[in-house]
Amino acid sequence: MNHKIVLEGGNRLKGEVTISGAKNAALKLMAASLLLDGNTELHNIPELTDVVTMTQLLQTLGAEVEYNIKDKKILINASNINNIEAHYDFVSKMRASFVVLGALLGRFHEAKVALPGGCSIGERRIDLHIKGLESLGAQVRIEGGYVIAKTKKLTGAKIYLDRPSVGATENIMLAAILAEGSTIISNAAQEPEITDLANFLNAMGADVNGAGSSEIIINGVKLKNLKPVTYTTIPDRIEAGTYIAAVAATRGKAVIRNIFPNHLSAVTSKIFEMGGKVTVLDPFSIEVSCSGRLNSANIVTQPYPGFPTDLQSPFISALVIAEGISIITESIYENRFRQLGELRRMGANVQQESNKAIIKGVKQLTGAQVISSDLRAGASLIVAGLCANGASQISDIYHIDRGYEKIVEKFSELGANIKRIDSEENNLDVKIINTDENFY
């Protein structure tokens, strides 16, 4: 069922929130389980529709998958894989599923995977994926909307990526695990999710070195060397960054738990620049606070360790009510400003010029009916609604459910006046609870 989110702005977020496991790590670990002729047990798996989609995809390939939502655990047995085709119905829903290509090719020397889909935030090329797999010895062609890869043998190679693509790095890593000899990936992606994948593979018995740096070395092993593994996914830095932006934008004070603070350095440094405060409480918790109106800031999205493209949308919502003029430069995806029109419906003064969003801060936003165009845009509209005067209604929230676990419940625990309603309801009648009269 397609629900909507309704919320009433004006409450300063206070309390604490616990961050879930990282979506972008968990999905890749699930795909990597295809390499193992045995059992994989994954913990700290978030309750997301993307996880359900990946579960279904693995099952169509012949894997036995048990998704225990209550315990946030997934059990995967890939011993009886009998299908090497990842169908369009699944891959078209989320790009992350495309990395089954490398795993299937690595273990079975052939794979047929639909061209990737997901949020419509811009062109997502697969040229580097193909270049890397061909360097390892695969013959790759695109036919009928599918990538078809075959090889008699994969052999290690030196591969330079023209740009540090996360997906290409992951696909090459997975294909190289069982290749003969050593593979070196230069200009590799350095995201924490890449390191998490490497740690998982090493726990399985692989030999991966340098993950988290620009050069990754994979020494190929035999299938018999891989063993059953139990592994815990890292926290979701993008979810954490979204709550950080929301707390600062509402001039609140909250503790963010179950995070790795060093994964958020680019984000927290911007919060300081914008006038907020971040205090590290322990190795896995921070406190975020802001006592007044935020200051303007300029942000350029970059590959890790730069500012994440996945967080520019929530931060735009914080900056539209900041003092002064801000400029957001999107250097990763060309269509990642699709929420700007919806923010203007709420009173934001923001314009797009090429790959830049020019923001002139206003003192307050006004609640409105808006539509979530993609995952992060949906989160952006929630942040904006929390800061707005009056009620907002967000439609097409299935995008949000792809990447944020229990987002309504978590914001409610922080004091937000927010709820999920049936799609047939069409009103903005939300009871105001403990609204701070001095918020605006």
| Six token digits for residue 353 | 């010029």
- Taking the C-alpha atoms of residue 127 and residue 147, their distance in angstroms, rounded to an integer, is 11
d(CA 306, CA 293): 25
Would you call 283 exposed, middle or buried from its count of C-beta atoms within 10 A (0-12, 13-18, 19+)? exposed
Give me the phi and psi of 70, to 5 degrees please. -60, -45
Select from 212, 229, 231, 402 the least CA-distant residue to 303: 212
Q: What is the DSSP letter of 89?
A: H
Element counts in the chain: helices (H) and strands (E): 14, 26
User: How many whole angstroms separate alpha carbon 314 and alpha carbon 302?
Assistant: 16
Residue type, 387: C
- In this structure, the chain runs to a length of 440
- Cα(336)–Cα(58) distance, integer angstroms: 30
Q: Are strands 356-360 and 365-366 parallel, antiparallel or unpaired?
A: unpaired
Q: Which of 45, 119, 126, 130 is catalytic?
A: 119
Per the annotation, the verdict on 119 as an active-site residue is yes
CA 366 from centroid of its chain's CA atoms: 28
In 3D space, the residue among 378, 389, 305, 391 whose CA is nearest the CA of residue 348 turns out to be: 389
- The C-alpha atoms of residue 31 and residue 45 are separated, in whole angstroms, by 14
Name the residues annotated as catalytic: 119
